A and B are shown apart, each in its own frame.
Chain A
Amino acid sequence: DTEVTQTPKHLVMGMTNKKSLKCEQHMGHRAMYWYKQKAKKPPELMFVYSYEKLSINESVPSRFSPECPNSSLLNLHLHALQPEDSALYLCASSQEVSGPTEAFFGQGTRLTVV
């Protein structure tokens, strides 16, 4: 299984809602990533988890809260988002045992904030 599965595929939420994005991989990868991608722009790194610990937070607003409950699962909790947060949210994972190997990306969750 070489897949990174993201759910849901689409999400519409109001600015006062709380929702969560889910990412799962069963490749035994120990590094997991969240990216945000606006239309016609490259993905922007948000968070990196290494061995289930948050190792990089790219100055992301606190309305985005990541969580890594176990080595296979990565969540992104959303609260009080703004319309400008509407984007494609991508999850990725990689092995990184002795150097950076290929990263596998999910198909993303397309988020619309209304």
Chain B
Amino acid sequence: DAKTTQPNSMESNEEEPVHLPCNHSTISGTDYIHWYRQLPSQGPEYVIHGLTSNVNNRMASLAIAEDRKSSTLILHRATLRDAAVYYCILYSYSGAGSYQLTFGKGTKLSVIP
């Protein structure tokens, strides 16, 4: 299985940008990079995904390195509601007719008022 490495925890001040890094040095050419977050006592929530190019949506931006061995999730202005565990995931084709979404350890983001 492809693996990801993230910092265990990060802190940010409210209304400042946050850059959450992820290393995935064993990524294969067909792996998609997905980010999810999980608030306390809730199921994970999709944030953003990409394959090779940088991506933007209403929640965040995803910057993907040219060699695809690392990526960074960017929250442009952190709010208290962004405090969560953020998971960087390689969405891999299982070879059995489906894709496999395997979670790593994630980064716990704390937002300071």
Residue of A nearest to B85 (CB): A42
Among candidates A4, A44, A100, A106, residue contacting B99 with C-beta atoms closer than 8 Å: A100
Contact assessment for A44 and B103 in the assembled complex, using a CB-CB cutoff below 8 Å: yes
Q: Which residues of A contact B43 (CB under 8 A)?
A: 4, 90, 92, 105-108
Q: Which residues of A contact B44 (CB under 8 A)?
A: 43, 90, 92, 103, 105
**Min C-beta distance of A72 to chain B, whole Å:** 17
Decide if the interface of chain A is mainly helix, strand, loop or mixed.
strand
**Distance A42 CA – B35 CA, assembled complex (angstroms):** 13
**Distance A100 CA – B15 CA, assembled complex (angstroms):** 32
**Min C-beta distance of B107 to chain A, whole Å:** 11
**A42-100: which residues lie under 8 A (CB-CB) from chain B?**
42-45, 48-51, 53, 55-56, 90, 92, 94, 96, 99-100
For the complex with contacts A31-B99, A49-B98, A105-B44, 10 further pairs of A-B residues with Cβ separation under 8 Å are A42-B103, A45-B103, A55-B94, A56-B96, A92-B43, A92-B101, A94-B99, A100-B32, A100-B99, A108-B43
